[in-house]
Structure 1
Amino acid sequence: MERPDESLIIDADLRQQLEYQRNRTRGVGMFEFEVRELIAAQEARHAEKARWESSLDAMTPMQKRRAIVREVIESDGPSPSNLRYMHSSLAICGLPYKRLPEGEYEFERKQGRMAVVVEAGKLRAPDGSRVQQPVPYGPKPRLILAHLSTEAIRNRSATIDVAETLTAFMRELGFEKRGGERGNIKPFKEQLQALAACRMEISAWDGKRSATIDAKPFKGIELWMSDNPDQKSLWPSTVTFSQEFYQSLKDHALPIDVRALHAFANSARKLDLLFWLNYRLHSMKTQLVLDWKPLQMQFGDGFARERAFRAQMADDIEHIKSVFPKLPVKLTERGLILENADPEVLSIPKRLPKK
């Protein structure tokens, strides 16, 4: 019988097994049998990879992105290195999903006994004029805040070095930097400017007492940089959180897996739903049931009809569960049911690093 070709064994773990079998004190025949077994295992992996790639080819770009993220998460598991952070109040009461109508410069969202009010502001342009900014909206300000909040938590500083880190973060989420009117730099920059100009009021109450943080997220930021991706000044060199926002962030930072941000980076509603489910899993002790009416108040921006909103929520839950299949959430005629579970179902490690 022809000797098996050891070069067909490629994967590192299988090569390790090959060397282990080589060093065992047994006969040549038994070693060659083990080599053939390892070659068969390698061929099975190649076949599985081919099936996987074929299934990806049949998917839409967003389906493919979610499938790849799920595969990576299941392969690598939860890790502190993959954690990013978001202020828990913004995880519960998010920003608007779409640009507010012309002339509207205030947005409020309530959830339970917590509320966030965001007021648009103005920025000074290079020519000295003050330019009205919109209320931050869509997925991009959520992603920007997650990045800046993470840098602040990691470095224990209200001042964040942005110039290099934000470009790297965009790339990590699948946004390659492109300038021009239709590039992705301009919309990110517009939302960064909207965040720099806005004022946020974060409130909580319990029937007897109430507390409010009223602050601009950023104390200082230099804006109006170039949109040309070939220039280094794409972003400000630094951004400084206001002391009020920074202190509140340190006290109420919610961990998020960056791979989940990548999976849903194009949908503000899915990001909000993911943040909210994450927050609930960290805080709840028993089953949570939420009726359709409060669900629509929180996640139903743009939906006048409950039937249309229910259909959208069903799609959003299905997409999130396609990445996190162990997430114990379902929709019923009454509303949403979330069973108590460890945040590991969203790839959050049990033991978080000290902040």
Structure 2
Amino acid sequence: MTRADESLIRDDDLRTKLEEARRRGFAFEQMVGVLVTTQKERDQAHQAEAAKAAKLAAMPRDRRRRFQAKEVIETEGPSPANLRYMPTPLAICGLPYKALPAESLEFERTQGRMAVTVTAGKLRAPDGRRVQQPVPWGPKARLIIAHLSTEALRNRSPIIETSETLSGFMRDMGFEPRGGARGNIEPFKEQLRALAACRMEISAWDGKRSGTVDVKPLEKVELWFGDHPDQTSLWPTKVAFSRAFYDELEKHALPIDVRVLRALSNSARRLDLMMWITYRITRLQTRLVLDWHPLKDQFGEGYTRDRDFRSALVEDLAALKELFPKMPVKLTERGLEMEAADASALAIPKRTLIS
């Protein structure tokens, strides 16, 4: 080995080993070769990390979240600790994607022989007024329900203990609280209030019989917060589901990985599509093709032109397949083609929290 070879060794710990080998004199050239190889391997690893960091920095925020979530899921695999649960009717039918007009106080979505009707309610303000709340909507409402449902099922109780502050509660769900006009604190409060005030009618039928459960999901909660999200005095430490809602949740809850929820947390449509596909493909016995028309009925809220909806759904499904590239679902001219899959393919372990 020459001094030129020695010059390739730059890291301090490797230079220290080089000098130790020089002092010993024994097998010095062999040690230089080992250290040069180690340095090259480190350099390649650093270059790969730098390239990855540059790639991530160039990605839009939502895609970066999906890329990072995919890596974590592939590295760590499925785990019951990462599961969250949605009431199955809400996972299948869903809430509105966007805020309804102020005069619209009811929303209904049907899927197959199941329907969910959500009616906006009122809450009593601290000054005694009853204030109309909107129909809950968007990704935050979905993530709040998933978080509270999971805590209830984990504790096998309709009474849920929460973090001591609103900030803590938001962080538990993967939201970093941000104030200001464009922050997420006020929209988060709005969805909590909307959920606290609303009623839900969950219906199913088979052509001969029908059944309906009419519930107020949150039976007891105080949601008139102070101005600061870290205040403890105005934030409830317990929230209670109604018994009827909790009983339905125990019977019908759909598991989904929390890393997936967080990766899709800016899109209600993608959250719904992910949960709906999860429900479908883990129950299929044979290949299924769903026509574009029912797809638009299910996921086309906000789209009047078929062409625009199809384009949006292509993007939405591509986002999901960034998380799970082998998910057996694809869009064709005929519609959405799905094949059966084991739940573990979606990072859902066979043994879930509910057993």
- Alignment TM class, shorter chain as reference: 0.7 to 0.9
Partner of 2:190: 190
The structure number with the bigger radius of gyration is 2
- In structure 2, relative to structure 1, the CA distance for the partners of 1:76 and 1:145 (3 Å cut) is same
Taking structure 2 as the reference length, the TM-score comes to 0.88
Partner of 1:16: none
**How far is the alpha carbon of 1:52 from its aligned partner?**
0.8
Partner of 1:49: 49
- In structure 2, relative to structure 1, the CA distance for the partners of 1:165 and 1:83 (3 Å cut) is farther
- In structure 2, relative to structure 1, the CA distance for the partners of 1:33 and 1:155 (3 Å cut) is farther
Question: What's the CA shift string for 1:224-280, capped at 9, x where partnerless?
Answer: 011313423574221100000001101111111111111110110000001101111
Partner of 1:21: none
- In structure 2, relative to structure 1, the CA distance for the partners of 1:28 and 1:167 (3 Å cut) is farther
Separation in structure 2 between the aligned mates of residue 119 and residue 211 of structure 1, nearest angstrom: 18
Question: What's the CA shift string for 1:180-230, capped at 9, x where partnerless?
Answer: 443311111110110011000111112222221111001111110113134
**How far is the alpha carbon of 1:97 from its aligned partner?**
0.7
Q: Does the CA contact (< 8 Å) of 1:179 and 1:227 recur in 2?
A: no
- Unpaired runs of 5+ residues, structure 2, are 15-26
1:1-355 equivalences under 5 Å are: 7=13, 40-164=40-164, 167-168=167-168, 170-171=170-171, 174-233=174-233, 235-355=235-355
Partner of 1:13: none
In structure 2, the residue corresponding to 1:283 is in which secondary structure? coil
Separation in structure 1 between the aligned mates of residue 41 and residue 142 of structure 2, nearest angstrom: 44
Separation in structure 2 between the aligned mates of residue 86 and residue 194 of structure 1, nearest angstrom: 17
**How far is the alpha carbon of 1:159 from its aligned partner?**
0.6
Separation in structure 1 between the aligned mates of residue 298 and residue 206 of structure 2, nearest angstrom: 19
**How far is the alpha carbon of 1:67 from its aligned partner?**
1.2
- Unpaired runs of 5+ residues, structure 1, are 9-26
Separation in structure 2 between the aligned mates of residue 264 and residue 338 of structure 1, nearest angstrom: 21
- Quick one: which amino acid aligns to residue 282 of structure 1? T
- In structure 2, relative to structure 1, the CA distance for the partners of 1:248 and 1:55 (3 Å cut) is same
Separation in structure 2 between the aligned mates of residue 159 and residue 220 of structure 1, nearest angstrom: 9
- In structure 2, relative to structure 1, the CA distance for the partners of 1:334 and 1:166 (3 Å cut) is farther
Separation in structure 2 between the aligned mates of residue 297 and residue 137 of structure 1, nearest angstrom: 17
- In structure 2, relative to structure 1, the CA distance for the partners of 1:37 and 1:303 (3 Å cut) is same
- In structure 2, relative to structure 1, the CA distance for the partners of 1:33 and 1:61 (3 Å cut) is same
Separation in structure 2 between the aligned mates of residue 272 and residue 141 of structure 1, nearest angstrom: 12
**How far is the alpha carbon of 1:175 from its aligned partner?**
2.5
Aligned residue pair count: 338
Q: Does the CA contact (< 8 Å) of 2:282 and 2:340 recur in 1?
A: no
**How far is the alpha carbon of 1:64 from its aligned partner?**
1.3
Question: What's the CA shift string for 1:157-189, capped at 9, x where partnerless?
Answer: 101112348644633655321234433111111
Taking structure 1 as the reference length, the TM-score comes to 0.88
Moved more, 40-49 or 291-300: 40-49
Separation in structure 1 between the aligned mates of residue 146 and residue 242 of structure 2, nearest angstrom: 16
**How far is the alpha carbon of 1:42 from its aligned partner?**
3.9
**How far is the alpha carbon of 1:103 from its aligned partner?**
1.1
Question: What's the CA shift string for 1:83-139, capped at 9, x where partnerless?
Answer: 111111101000001111121111100000110000001111111111111100111
In structure 2, the residue corresponding to 1:65 is in which secondary structure? helix
Separation in structure 2 between the aligned mates of residue 265 and residue 233 of structure 1, nearest angstrom: 29
Separation in structure 2 between the aligned mates of residue 294 and residue 209 of structure 1, nearest angstrom: 23
Separation in structure 2 between the aligned mates of residue 168 and residue 33 of structure 1, nearest angstrom: 53
- Quick one: which amino acid aligns to residue 206 of structure 2? D
**Aligned-pair Cα RMSD in Å:** 2.4
- In structure 2, relative to structure 1, the CA distance for the partners of 1:28 and 1:151 (3 Å cut) is farther
Separation in structure 2 between the aligned mates of residue 128 and residue 313 of structure 1, nearest angstrom: 45
